[in-house]
Amino acid sequence: MTLVCVPLPVHALDEIPSLLARASRVAERGAEIIEWRIDPLLAESSVDAALHEETLDALAQLIRDCVLPSLVTARSVAEGGQCALAPDDLFALLGEIGSLQFPPRFIDVELAIIERLGRVPCVRSGGASLLYSAHDMQGPPSSLARIYQRMVEDDRCAVAKIAYRARSVRDCHDAFELLALRAKPSILLCMGEEGLATRVLARKFGAFLTFASEGDGLESAPGQPTIDLLKRQYRCSAINRATEVFGVLGFPVAHSQSPAFHNARFAECARDAVYLPLPVRSDWESFKATLTMLLDDVALSFRGASVTIPHKEHLVRFVQERGGEVDTTTAWIGAANTLVVRSDGSLFATNTDLPAACSVLADAFAAPLRGKRIAVFGAGGVARAIAGGLAEEGARVSIINRTHERAAQLAKELSSAGRGVVTAMREDAIACNPTGCERFDCFVNATPVGMTGGPDPDGFILPDSAPLDTDTVVFDTVYAPRETPLLRLARARGARCVDGMTMFTRQAELQSKLWLECR
Ligand code: NAP
């Protein structure tokens, strides 16, 4: 059983009633233990005797009246907290807290202070147990295994906790390994976005507890998920040793819609699986090393991934180099967004963007795409998949891109295999005199123009004079916002519109089907 622990900071003694109410609310949302972070109270280097007594009385009330068991922590500045008390004074206070009539379940004591003083806080028999902790805010400590060993070998240590910043998803591996070999109740956590897997999968690897914040912006350490995300989206209470792991590899992935979609789908289908955002830096070596780690860690049960910017080409290369299968169309366009790990361990890569885009357009036309004249804006990964897919369906595709040379190169590559005809076109060919320019049945935006937080959120790719009417289909692959400036313009001119969320959902459904079929 892995407990879900919510840290609540204690800033002032008159906050006790409101803190108790907050603890009750997080208990209703699934918290099982509260970490009272008392270091904000101890940010001065000394506490006078009167205040010491007052502090102790208030904390006694907090711990006694809390609906949940307590862990009391006074994190030092050196390890990422605010406690400025001298080590002797801190241990004296922790000893008194741990010896209260109704003591907390645990008090956190930092290994570095224990080793500096050569002793632990003096706690009465039957008082709080000691949770030894060590933190590295920079990265994995080079002596991680030795630090853990020192905690494990000390009989006074009831729970061993080590937290360090993950510089890459690969850094989670050491935490998983130590947990798998644990010799006493242990907590091995990685901080930062790259460390989320250690927090969500704590139960899979038998961690004693995992931390979750009360809400957005209330994290006590970088990368802590909210309790609602941990309990509802990731269903952390259902995770067990056999739970399969999926994820989205890319950069950035923090705002990806895929974890919400796929975790909900796994829940609906009662599949024992969880789907995580897995940020991977843009170079091939990082991608290769991360995916290799995920696949080679047998205990992780990694069964598949969505792959997004900038790794779609890398996935094709990776699967080919490992002797896996890449379907013919995906190999032709050279970009994959889906990895399936079959039950025999073999790999299969495909691109669900392509059939998703073709099918949403066929629905919008209510007709086959053969012979349709389609302008695709952009020459990146999504444009490549859409232009290739449409050409294969027999559409007449023109690629238009800010950097015309990239459009020309892509058109050449896609046409050379003889699977369809793709040309490159300059933007002004659309804005020309309507009598002189070619008519398009459909315009597709495969650039980030119009995307919230993107390079040109208010822009749209079509020139004002572009011919649009009720027979024209306008498809914007951007899905945030759902109604982009391009779709607003197109709707106002009576064109038929397809939004990016429709494509996103369809490509995600195809991924989900592949994973659900492959047990
Ligand atoms: P990418 O590989 O980075 O390519 C981006 C393309 O957009 C390039 O051709 C680039 O032109 C062009 N571009 C970038 N900024 C521009 C600007 N300010 N003005 C004009 N052109 C610009 O990206 P991608 O993977 O193809 O993704 C493109 C978009 O597709 C994403 O932003 C996302 O919104 C959307 N998308 C949607 C779905 C879905 O399921 N609906 C899935 C994935 C992506 P240059 O060649 O000149 O740099």
Residues with CB under 6 A from ligand 1: 309, 353, 378-383, 401-403, 406, 446-449, 451, 455-456, 477-479, 500, 503-504, 507
Per-residue model confidence as pLDDT tens digits over 112-151: 999 999 999 999 999 999 999 999 999 999 999 999 999 9
**DSSP labels for 427-456?**
GGGTSS-TTTS---SEEEE-SSTT-TTSS-
CA of 421 to the centre of ligand 1 (A): 22
Q: Measuring from atom 32 of ligand 1, which residue has the nearest CA?
A: 448
Alpha-carbon separation of residue 387 from 177, 230, 413, 421, 424 (angstroms): 44, 39, 11, 10, 11
Mean pLDDT for all residues in the chain:
94
Q: Measuring from atom 34 of ligand 1, which residue has the nearest CA?
A: 478
CATH-assigned architecture of domain 354-500: 3-Layer(aba) Sandwich (3.40)
Identical topology for domains 246-351 and 354-500: yes
**Whether pLDDT at 435 is above 60:** no
Task: Delimit the domains of the chain by residue range.
Answer: 3-240, 246-351, 354-500
Peptide bond into 310 cis (omega under 30): yes
- As a whole number, mean pLDDT of residues 226-247 equals 97
- The answer to which of 367-376, 393-402, 420-429 has the lowest mean pLDDT is 420-429
Residue 403 CA: nearest ligand 1 atom is 47
What proportion of the chain, given as a percentage, has pLDDT over 90? 88
* Per-residue pLDDT at 433: 45
CA of 251 to the centre of ligand 1 (A): 14
Per-residue model confidence as pLDDT tens digits over 27-83: 999 999 999 999 999 998 777 777 788 999 999 999 999 999 999 999 999 999 999
Strand, coil or helix: what is 177?
helix
Prediction pTM value: 0.93
Per-residue model confidence as pLDDT tens digits over 315-348: 999 999 999 999 999 999 999 999 999 999 999 9
- CATH superfamily, domain 3-240, is Aldolase class I (3.20.20.70)
* Per-residue pLDDT at 432: 56
* Per-residue pLDDT at 13: 93
- Residue 246: φ, ψ to 5°: -125, 170
Catalytic residues: 312
Q: What class, spelled out in words, does domain 246-351 have in CATH?
A: alpha beta
* Per-residue pLDDT at 472: 94
Q: Measuring from atom 22 of ligand 1, which residue has the nearest CA?
A: 447
